[in-house]
């Protein structure tokens, strides 16, 4: 149970860090969501948005962070 508690605390700290970054530096990430590969279809009564490239970038970043965390912690 102790390991689960540590994991939850780390996840919470990461979420807070992301919130602070978005709060203070959100205007610097205006390119995010408008990458080549993000699908946007807008018609008169219909809007569709699929941020494929943006989600791929987030997935790569999270995977790299998890790999780094596991490497540092020795698992």
Q: How confident is the model over 36-61, as a mean pLDDT?
A: 92
pLDDT value of residue 33: 79
Smallest CA-to-CA distance from 32 within 5, 57, 63 is with: 57
Torsion angle, alpha carbons of 8, 11, 12, 16, to 10: 170
Average model confidence (pLDDT) for the chain? Answer: 87
Helical (H) or strand (E) element with 67: helix 52-73
Domain boundaries defined on the chain: 1-27, 31-75
Q: Which two structure tokens, joined as six digits, stand for 37?
A: 């590969």
The CA distance from 18 to 33, in Å, is 16
Q: How confident is the model over 34-39, as a mean pLDDT?
A: 89
pLDDT value of residue 75: 65
For residue 54, give every residue at least 6 positions away whose Cβ sits within 8 Å of its Cβ, in sequence order, or none: 32, 33, 35, 38
Question: In this predicted model, what pLDDT tens digit does every residue of 6-30 receive, in sequence order?
Answer: 888 988 998 999 899 888 887 887 7
């Amino acid at each position: 149970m102790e390991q689960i508690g540590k994991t939850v605390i780390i996840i919470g700290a990461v979420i807070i860090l992301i919130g602070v970054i978005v709060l203070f530096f959100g205007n610097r990430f205006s390119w995010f969501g408008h990458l080549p590969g993000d699908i946007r279809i807008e018609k008169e009564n219909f809007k569709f948005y699929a941020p494929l490239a943006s989600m791929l970038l987030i997935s790569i970043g999270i995977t790299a962070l998890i790999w780094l965390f596991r490497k540092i912690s020795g698992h």
